[in-house]
Amino acid sequence: MSPIHTSDVGCNSTDAAPCPSDWPAQRLTEARGIVADFVHHPDSLIVLACRAIAAHSPDPQESREALALAGLLIAVSSRKPKGGAA
């Protein structure tokens, strides 16, 4: 996963609502909030948030921890039964 660049490329802006220049920082803050409040979010969203943190956090320790959490969630979710009677 490559880092988000701070240019407005890919931003769905209009003249009425331009994209702020700090949108990568806002997405990183949002991803951190999702991980912090993991009880209220599905595992798939937490994994995406972890990937965003790992790719865009300036702190290498935070990136490693986010990747570890994502890996743990993926491993646990692959062991869960996918419905049906037990």
Tens-digit pLDDT profile for residues 20-35: 778 888 999 999 999 9
pLDDT of residue 8: 47
Computed over every residue of the chain, the mean pLDDT equals 81
CB contact at 8 A, 3 and 51: no
Q: Is the pLDDT of residue 54 over 70?
A: yes
Quickly list H helices, 1-86: 23-36, 43-56, 60-79
The pTM score is: 0.68
